[in-house]
Amino acid sequence: MRTGVFVCWCGLNIGGVVDVPRVVEEISHYPGVARAVDYRYMCSDPGQQLIKDVIREERLDSVVIAACSPGMHEATFQSVAASAGVNPYRCEIANIREQCSWPHQNEPGEATRKAIELIQAAIEKVRGDEALSALSIPVTRRALIIGAGIAGMQAALDIAEAGHEVVLVERLPHIGGHMAQLSETFPTLDCSQCILTPKTSEVGRHPRIKLLTNSEVESISGYVGNFTVRIRRKATYVNWDLCTGCGLCTEKCPSRASSTFERGLVKEPAISIAFPQAVPHKPVISAEACGHFTKGKCGVCEKVCPVGAIDYQQQDALFEEKVGAIVVATGYDLHPKAKVGEYGYGVYPDVIDGLEFERLNSASGPTQGQIRRPSDGKVPKEVVFIQCVGSRDQENGYPYCSKICCMYTAKHARLYKHKVSDGQPYVFYMDIRAGGKGYEEFVQHATEEEGVLYLRGRVARVFQDGDALVVFGVDTLSGKKVEIRADMVVLATAIVPASGAKELARVLKTATDQYGFFSEAHPKLRPVESLTRGIYIAGCAQAPKDIPDTVTQAGSAAAKVLALFSAERLSHSPAVAAVDEELCSGCGVCVEACAYDARTLDTRRRVAVVNDVLCEGCGACAVACPNGATRQKNASRSQVFSMIDAVVG
Amino acid sequence: MGSGEEFEPRIVAFLCNWCTYTGADLAGVSRMQYPPNVRPIRVMCSGSVDPMYILKALLDGADGVLVGGCHPGDCHYVSGNYKARRRLAVLGAILDEFGIGRDRVWFRFISASEGALFANTVRDMTAALKALGPNPARALWLA
């Protein structure tokens, strides 16, 4: 074996702690090492050139790079090795930065010793590495998008416009997400429906978008380029192929259900279309509220439907779709009502959240756009807006900032003033975060031109006194206690991941953060990739964000999908399981151990085989094999044994 | 680690590529400081950690072995962490028999976002092993 070892200083990141010259000196005497060299920045062009030159001069057959984490530059150095004639699977990384110099900054001696041992382990590993070549797998050029809010719709349109088919799954009966509930949008105050409906109708009629509403993803199998998705379309009890959306059923229905779209502010018929611009414009029966299902009596909708579309017997339907890439755009929910007891949220009807205020403002909402409080329909003359309810609250909520509340609260206060010119809006805030194009100006306008009174401080309590809500707070700028008798209180509650996000992440075998937002592969440089290849993230599924940021990220996710679809075939890691048929007894334990159906028994030859393309290289079968017949390529038992010797010995 | 100095335990850590290894990277990126007694070996999955690896490390003279995997339900390979948990439960009984003791082998679920948990785990484990003293197998085999 002729191994070259390349030790990076990473400026002072490694070199400031680890004694690099000593490392190079010791390693150059290690068995199998043809040459050890160091360089200030191994990932730089001159650093890469140095590696190539030494490979050629020393006729190396393997290399070890001692530098940052393999997560950073493994691929870089593999391609450098390959370009100079070393098989890329015979290039190993010793992580002497993230797991050595950085966490041991005050112990240079020990860090140096550790670096030497980590490099020795990497040399032992590379000694056993086989020269492999990447496997090639076909790509299904069809995308699945989960969630049809503005993020999912934008990604779907971008991918469909580029010529690929899209399956767009939405669990509600209609598309548009939360944006469909908004009245106006900051910082321009243009009507949300007016800018959204061109998108919803385009999605609804696009020839390459297969829209599955009232549907959820049940399970997913496969891998990048080749996913099989099982989708459940929940029963609507209306045959949408026959239904014309005339609305007669809704008019005549005698039963009532609380309207989710209107945030529970009104009741709607048990058979209804959520809002006038809904796409698809078809009704759904709520089985919990419908007289036919609850009492077994009513059948009015069935009688009045002119096309016979009502189908009380309808069952959930299961579909299977084959796709090559997935975009997760599941959006957000608001912090649950029950958790904000001190503000009487969920107890006093006139304490509402931001989305409820949007509905009060909306021309198609329960009050036709007039600001009337829920309890008695009175026009509120004093309205208190409270920001950071649940957000930036380590004790009772979430430590993170929900990002959009400063802006939408300013918007709410301004819209309120436009409609109730003699009313007084107050805003309790912690800090105003108005970073964004035109945002700061928007907030300034609220305070300077529109008479919105901003009070810097927290509200301690809200309680009912007669028909007023008494708001106890503090103005930290004047140092005075504040008591306001308000007619209505609007809470900017925290943005939380959509319900079911964690369960979906499990189905997708990808990760979420501690709050349940989907984790991106890198917080700065790979913000739309998930930790699973072929799965991308867009919108509030990843973190709270506003509409412009959501649309940007959705476009970016679509671009990633299109890049994936631009290749005929994808490469698949060749570090998969392999079987020594001489040793295999055909017992089938490996078949049981495999989570990917990549292991099967060849019953004729009585040996276990590996389907390379399905194998994810996890190594579970190799451990399970009772007679050592299965090995994981380039992570064999003997390799790990020598690595242990290198670090313990 | 010469005589007269304080005993410094040596820990071999098998860290799954997707969760704990990335979590350990995060600890480093965040400049969290933890004892340099740990020697990480990256594996694709905690489910690929053969009990033989752990026995080998302990018989070679390591004072402790840490196996780090994804949280239950979060395994990148569906169920590898459960397989690891079962194997390590069985291994514990053998270690007790050998006189090495199961408390030298720690299995921990540490996600990619839990850098602090990784740092704390190494800190706690180093302290616990200092209290336990050197692996008796070391004296037995390396005397």
A526-543 confidence digits (pLDDT tens): 899 997 889 999 999 999
Q: Residue A285 pairs with which residues in a beta bridge?
A: A271
CB of B13 within 8 A of CB of B65?
A: yes
Both tokens of residue A105? 């900054």
Q: Kindly state whether B23 is in contact with chain A, defined as any CB-CB distance less than 8 angstroms.
A: no
Enter the ipTM. Answer: 0.95
B103 lies in a domain? yes
Residue whose structure tokens are 């096309």? A307
Bridging pattern class, strands B64-69 and B105-109: parallel
Nearest residue in chain A measured CA to CA from B32: A103
Quick check: A506 and B73 CB within 8 A? yes
CB of A384 within 8 A of CB of A407?
A: no
CA A648 to chain centre: 41
- Residue A223 has a pLDDT of 85
CB-based contacts of A604-611 (< 8 A; 24+ apart in sequence):
A605/A581, A607/A579, A607/A581, A608/A579, A608/A584, A609/A579, A610/A576, A610/A577, A610/A578, A610/A579
- How is A480-524 classified by DSSP, letter by letter? EEEEEEESEEEEEEPEEEPTTHHHHHHHHT--B-TTSPBPPSBTT
- Residue A222 has a pLDDT of 86
* Number of structural domains found in chain B: 1
CA dist., res. A400 & res. A390, Å (int): 9
Residues of A within 8 A of B79 (CB-CB) are 595, 620
The pLDDT tens digits of the residues spanning A319-362 come to: 999 999 999 999 999 998 777 788 998 899 999 999 999 999 99
CATH 3.50.50.60 assigned to domain A142-234+316-331+498-565? The reply is yes
**What are the E-state strand segments in B37-82?**
38-43, 64-69
State phi, psi for A600 to the nearest 5 degrees. -140, 165
Min Cα distance B43 → chain A (Å) is: 8
Tell me the CA distances in angstroms from A618 to A99, A595, A600, B50, B130, one per residue in order: 22, 9, 16, 12, 34
* Helical spans, DSSP H, in A67-137: 70-83, 108-128
- Residue A605 has a pLDDT of 92
CB of B137 within 8 A of CB of B58?
A: yes
Q: Give the residue numbers spanning the domain of B93.
A: 11-137
Taking chain A (649 residues) in runs of 10, the rounded mean pLDDT of each run is 97 97 98 98 97 98 98 96 97 98 98 98 98 93 98 98 98 97 96 96 97 97 92 97 96 95 95 95 96 94 97 97 98 87 91 97 94 96 96 91 97 97 97 96 96 96 95 95 97 96 90 89 86 93 97 98 94 94 95 89 94 90 95 96 93
Nearest-by-Cβ selection for B22 from A71, A111, A593: A71
**Of chain B residues 36-55, which have a CB less than 8 A from chain A?**
36, 39-45, 47-50, 52-53
If we measure between CA atoms, which residue out of A167, A307, A169 comes closest to residue A240? A307
- How is A53-73 classified by DSSP, letter by letter? HHHHHHT-SEEEEEES-HHHH
Question: If DSSP codes are grouped into helix, strand and coil, which group holds residue A92?
Answer: strand
**Of chain A residues 99-128, which have a CB less than 8 A from chain B?**
99-100, 102-107, 110-111, 113-114, 117-118, 121
Quick check: A107 and B36 CB within 8 A? yes
B143 lies in a domain? no
Provide the 8-state DSSP code for A29: T
- Scored b (16 or more CB within 10 A) or e, A423-448 reads bbbbbbbbebbbebeebeebbeebee
Q: What CATH superfamily is the domain A334-496?
A: FAD/NAD(P)-binding domain (3.50.50.60)
Quick check: B43 and A71 CB within 8 A? no
If we measure between CA atoms, which residue out of B62, B130, B48, B50 comes closest to residue B100? B62
Best B39, B126, B142 member to test A by mutation, with max A CBs in 10 Å, is B39
CA A56 to chain centre: 45
Q: Which amino acid is at A41?
A: Y
- Counted across chains A and B, CB pairs separated by less than 8 A come out at 141
B28 lies in a domain? yes
CB of A330 within 8 A of CB of A501?
A: yes
Quick check: B61 and A648 CB within 8 A? yes
Both tokens of residue A250? 């809704």
CA dist., res. A255 & res. A297, Å (int): 11
CB of A252 within 8 A of CB of A208?
A: no
CB of A590 within 8 A of CB of A599?
A: yes
CB of A516 within 8 A of CB of A497?
A: yes
CA A189 to chain centre: 28
What residue spans in chain A does CATH classification 3.50.50.60 cover?
142-234+316-331+498-565, 334-496
CB of A6 within 8 A of CB of A65?
A: yes
Min Cα distance A331 → chain B (Å) is: 21
Strands laid side by side in the A459-465 sheet:
A459-465, A468-475, A480-486
Quick check: B83 and A531 CB within 8 A? no
- Residue A553 has a pLDDT of 97
Best A123, A639, A644 member to test B by mutation, with max B CBs in 10 Å, is A644
Read off the CATH number of the domain in which B36 is found.
3.40.50
Bridging pattern class, strands A215-223 and A459-465: unpaired
- Kindly report the pTM of this predicted structure: 0.78
CATH fold for the domain made of A576-632: Alpha-Beta Plaits (3.30.70)
Cβ neighbours for A591, distance < 8 A, ≥ 6 positions apart: A599, A600, A601, A608
Quick check: A531 and B33 CB within 8 A? no
If we measure between CA atoms, which residue out of A565, A593, A595, A583 comes closest to residue A627? A583
The 10 Å Cβ neighbour count of residue A375 is 15
Both tokens of residue A29? 């005497």
Residues of A within 8 A of B48 (CB-CB) are 618-620, 622-623, 632, 635
If we measure between CA atoms, which residue out of A619, A639, A637 comes closest to residue A628? A637
CATH 3.40.1130 assigned to domain A3-134? The reply is no
Quick check: A645 and B83 CB within 8 A? no
CB of A455 within 8 A of CB of A427?
A: yes
If we measure between CA atoms, which residue out of A193, A195, A192, A260 comes closest to residue A411? A192
- Residue B75 has a pLDDT of 83
Both tokens of residue A302? 């069935």
Q: Specify the DSSP element, H or E, that contains A622.
A: helix A620-624
- Residue A509 has a pLDDT of 82
B80 lies in a domain? yes
Min Cα distance B17 → chain A (Å) is: 9
**Of chain A residues 492-521, which have a CB less than 8 A from chain B?**
505-506, 509, 511, 513-514, 519
Q: Residue A224 pairs with which residues in a beta bridge?
A: none
CB of B46 within 8 A of CB of B67?
A: yes
- Residue B140 has a pLDDT of 64
B3 lies in a domain? no
- Residue A532 has a pLDDT of 82
Nearest residue in chain A measured CA to CA from B11: A648
Quick check: B83 and A623 CB within 8 A? yes
Per-residue confidence in pLDDT tens, chain B, 143 aa: 444 578 999 999 999 999 999 999 999 999 999 999 999 999 999 999 999 999 999 998 899 999 999 988 778 887 889 999 999 999 999 899 888 999 999 999 999 989 999 999 999 999 999 999 999 887 665 54
Mean pLDDT, rounded, of chain A: 95
Both tokens of residue B101? 């003791």
Burial environment of residue A318 by CB neighbours within 10 A (0 to 12, 13 to 18, 19 or more) = exposed
Q: Kindly state whether A623 is in contact with chain B, defined as any CB-CB distance less than 8 angstroms.
A: yes
B2 lies in a domain? no
Quick check: B56 and A618 CB within 8 A? no
Tell me the CA distances in angstroms from A110 to A68, A479, A561, B35, one per residue in order: 18, 53, 45, 9
Min Cα distance A102 → chain B (Å) is: 5
When computed from its CA atoms, the radius of gyration of chain A, rounded to whole angstroms, is 31
If we measure between CA atoms, which residue out of B38, B33, B36 comes closest to residue B116? B33
**Of chain B residues 82-141, which have a CB less than 8 A from chain A?**
83, 87, 111-113, 119
Cβ neighbours for B45, distance < 8 A, ≥ 6 positions apart: A618, A619, A620, B16, B17, B18, B69, B75, B76, B77, B80, B81, B84
Nearest residue in chain A measured CA to CA from B123: A103
Best B11, B34, B42, B55 member to test A by mutation, with max A CBs in 10 Å, is B42
Q: Kindly state whether A70 is in contact with chain B, defined as any CB-CB distance less than 8 angstroms.
A: yes
Quick check: A531 and B18 CB within 8 A? yes
What residue spans in chain A does CATH classification 3.30.70.20 cover?
576-632
The 10 Å Cβ neighbour count of residue A580 is 13
